[in-house]
Structure formats: structure tokens, C-alpha cells
Structure 1
């Protein structure tokens, strides 16, 4: 049912555990992507459809958008779903901007979970190109805020009890900690309304987020200058619904609520596609 309305032990302290949030699909990025060519209808030029760029969040990969991509492509939209490095808002936004630079024409930028933090940074300065921002069960941070802090702002997340922190050391001595959701808790925590077999695949292919990314402060908030849409998931155990509402209202986003888990792009692809198309058609 859908109805409309106008983030070790240190991680246990934020309901969101250590994982800002989630999801997106395989790297389908070509060196240059352009929208549907401008056609004519009765001698009148028809604007090109914007390219839809889908940014996944933590504990997911680009394939989490697959069912949404199928629907958007069927509707005639060019779609790009790049891999999100999940290393930190600033560096991840820089990577996403390199994707945007290769796309010709207008863009609708969509972020799921932590991907919302990334698109909020990446779109700043691209106001002429990025026509709309769409937040899917996502963070809409203000400058100076962190995923950890926003997750702690309201009760409701159980992610802290579901995560596993895995230290790593890279060649050259650089070290850090990656955060995963434990496989035996993945479905209940992240994708409770996704079929068990599909959730098992998602758990096996989840991509971790750097723990440091969850405490890195955002520096930009593109939702202040670009029209925004938000899909709030009311059965979300990663980002509390109250936190999603707070951020969406603050951003004056066009908001829709749906009874769904955090993995809404997998469980309710029609609803996700619908709000993306609303943003795309309203801002053309």
C-alpha cells in the first residue's frame, strides 16, 4: 500500500549500527550516454528523455536496481547504474561526478540509502544538468551531518546488532574496517519482504561500506537547489522511517510512503520506478 504526502562496539551506539544504508545495479556505464534523441511529433520537437543514474548504497551492488532498470528501459529511458565505491561521501561523490561527466543531456539522479548522501554531494554544481534528485529510503544530509548521526537521531534501527566489522590491510600498509551485515541476519534486517532465495543472493553479493564513511561529514546538500523526490519505507530497520521523514520534510521533497523494507527497489520495483518517472516527467 502506497500513500502520498507533499548508520565493533562503537557502532552499537547508533541504531543504524555501522552501516549507513544501502543499494544499486552492475556497472553499465559507457564512455558516453545520451538521452533518447529529440524526435518530432506533428512537427513539434520532443525533448530528449533524461538519463536515469542509479546510485546504490551499502550492503548492495548495482544489481539491486535490476528490476527497476528493466521497467525504466521498457519505458524508453536510458539508464546507468554505476558501482558505488562505498569509501566515503567525498570520494564516492567524486567518482559519481566522473560518471555524470560522460553523460550527454539531462540527468535524473537517484540514490538509495547511503547513495542519497553521495548524490547530494555529487549533484552540487551540476544544477544545469541534474534536473531532479530522487531519494529511495535514503539519507538527505545537511552539510556537517553524518550517516551515523542521522541514524541516531531517531529510534528504530536494529542494524547495530546485525553488522560484522572486518578489518583489512592493503598493499602499502593502509588499513581500515569494512562493515557487512551478517548473512544469517541479512533478510530480516535488510530485505524482509524479499523472497528468501533472492535475499540469500543479495546477502552473498553484498558490498561492504568503509566504517569511516559513516562518520565522514557531508559538505554539500544539492537538494537545496535541485527539485527532490523521496520514497520513505515504513518497515525499514536500517534508516528509521522517522529519520527519513525528518530529512524529506526539511528538503521540501515530494514525498511518498510505502510499507516496505529497506530493500524496496527489489521488493517494490513498480513503486520505485513510478516515483523516478514522476521526477523525470515533472522536470522535463
Structure 2
């Protein structure tokens, strides 16, 4: 009888332990991915903090790239080009195993496009979030001027040496995160730096074997007044992007609705995992 009771208790403990493990595992995806996140102009790695936390909590690896001349990086402005940005991202990807999901926001769309042209074999998905998608031969400056409804252009001022571009401070949060909390707006103001200007004039060359061979996803930002939804549609069509998702936010969804962004990125990752 004693042995029977002990056996029953042992079995109950084992079932309880298995159930406990199962509950914990519900929060971790079966096939984790590596995400490489690239910020846009006038921003820095901090913008991805909440999204990174969500992705890593699900068991994924996340690499956030600090573009030269942004955040805490002190590279002289006159040394910065689109190729310098590209090479920084390629360096980060070279330290990862297997393929990555490469994500770019705004100006970062130019950067990730350039990266995809150089190392298409390392990218499982190229994801644009409210980002510029250039055609071959276009520069960021040329592309941005093609959006007639953008509110950004009139709010820019150029430095006397032509090396940086500033956004008028009283318009900064209105443009980039009008739908965000006051805390998020304060974060944008506190981390603001003038944007290096030279990369805006650097044209990009793309090929079907490079950029054209990478599967792409575009996440539209529906309240965006920096890169308007209508212009996003034009770039999506021009690049032949078939997979289009959306968030009902301003230009900085990772700050105003980070869970929505991480949810979409997880969805993209899961689709890769189950693809035959």
C-alpha cells in the first residue's frame, strides 16, 4: 500500500512538472529567428528597445545596429556615406549564424536595400517598416522629394557646411510620433541628433541577382506624415513587394505601438519557420 501511494505521488509530481514546463514553453517559439534591426534618420538604437525585448522573450536573437553618426557613435560627419552604413550592417550580420530577418525603418530602408544587394544569401526576409524602398539609380534625397504630401521637407534646415540636416525642434514629435505617449515623445527629444547629409545624395545600384532575389515584406504605417501611405504604396508596387502588412500608427510604430510591431515581426518569422 505504501509503495502504491508513493508511486501515485511520483506520477502526480511528474505530470505537474510536465504541465509547468509546457506552460513556460508556450511563451517561446519552436523555431527562433535572428532579427537585425536598423533605425532610421534622426533616430538611434533606443527606438527598438521594446520590440527587442518582445522578440528576445520569445527566444529569438536580436541584433540592433547603431549606424555611424547616430546614437553614441562619433564618426565625423564628412566620412559618412550610404556605403559606410551598409558596411556596418554587413559587419553585424557576418557575426550571426545562418540567415537573418533584416528590418529597416525610414532611411534605414535605403541601408537594408543596399545590404540585400551585397549579401542576399544571408537574408531570409527583408522587412520595411514605414521605409524608403529605392529603385536602382535613386538616392534618398531624390526619393524623398517624390512624396508630394510629406510634411517633413518644409521642416528641415541644413547646416552652413552642408554636412547635416536638422528638423525644427517644435515639429519633431508631431512629425515622428504624434500618436505616442508623452514619455515616448520626451525620449525622441532627448535622443535627437542632427542627421548626416551626405548619405542623402548617394545613389544605389540594384540587380535582380542581388536585391531582386530576396523575399520582401512591407509594413505600412497608416498615419504616417513623413512617408505617406500613398507614397508607400508606390514604392511597394515599384519594388514588386507582394507581402504587405500594416500598423495604424505614425512614423515611429516601435515607440507608439511596439507590441503591434513585434507581433508582426514574430508573424513573419513564424511563416519562415513553417515554409516547406
Shorter-chain TM range is: 0.7 to 0.9
Deviation at 1:93, TM superposition (A): 0.5
RMSD, aligned CA: 2.0
Give the Cα–Cα distance (whole angstroms) in 1 for the partners of residues 180 and 39 of structure 2: 17
Give the Cα–Cα distance (whole angstroms) in 1 for the partners of residues 272 and 38 of structure 2: 19
The residue that corresponds to 2:232 in the other structure is 244
The residue that corresponds to 2:213 in the other structure is 225
Q: 2:270 aligns with which of 269, 277, 281?
A: 281
SS state at 2:159 partner: strand
Q: Is the 8 A contact 1:165 1:177 kept in 2?
A: yes
Q: Which has the higher contact order (CA 8 A, sep 6+)?
A: 1
Q: How many residues align?
A: 232
The residue that corresponds to 1:38 in the other structure is none
Deviation at 1:234, TM superposition (A): 2.0
SS state at 1:239 partner: coil
Give the Cα–Cα distance (whole angstroms) in 2 for the partners of residues 143 and 94 of structure 1: 19
Equivalent residues in 2 for 1:110-121, closer than 5 Å: 110-121=103-114
Give the Cα–Cα distance (whole angstroms) in 2 for the partners of residues 47 and 260 of structure 1: 30
The residue that corresponds to 1:42 in the other structure is none
The residue that corresponds to 2:260 in the other structure is 271
Give the Cα–Cα distance (whole angstroms) in 2 for the partners of residues 62 and 98 of structure 1: 16
Q: 1:132 aligns with which of 111, 120, 125?
A: 125
The residue that corresponds to 2:176 in the other structure is 190
Q: 1:262 aligns with which of 233, 251, 257?
A: 251
Q: 1:210 aligns with which of 186, 191, 196?
A: 196
Deviation at 1:48, TM superposition (A): 5.2
Unaligned stretches of 5+ in structure 1? 1-45, 169-175
SS state at 1:49 partner: coil
Q: 2:223 aligns with which of 235, 243, 247?
A: 235
1:228-260: CA deviation from partner (whole Å, max 9, x where unpaired): 111111221211222211111233241123321
The residue that corresponds to 2:85 in the other structure is 92
Q: Is the 8 A contact 1:50 1:105 kept in 2?
A: no
Deviation at 1:164, TM superposition (A): 3.2
SS state at 1:104 partner: coil
The residue that corresponds to 1:68 in the other structure is 51
Deviation at 1:223, TM superposition (A): 4.5
1:60-111: CA deviation from partner (whole Å, max 9, x where unpaired): 1100011111110111111010101263322210111111111122211000
The residue that corresponds to 2:13 in the other structure is none
Q: Is the 8 A contact 2:40 2:104 kept in 1?
A: yes
**Greater share of strand:** 1
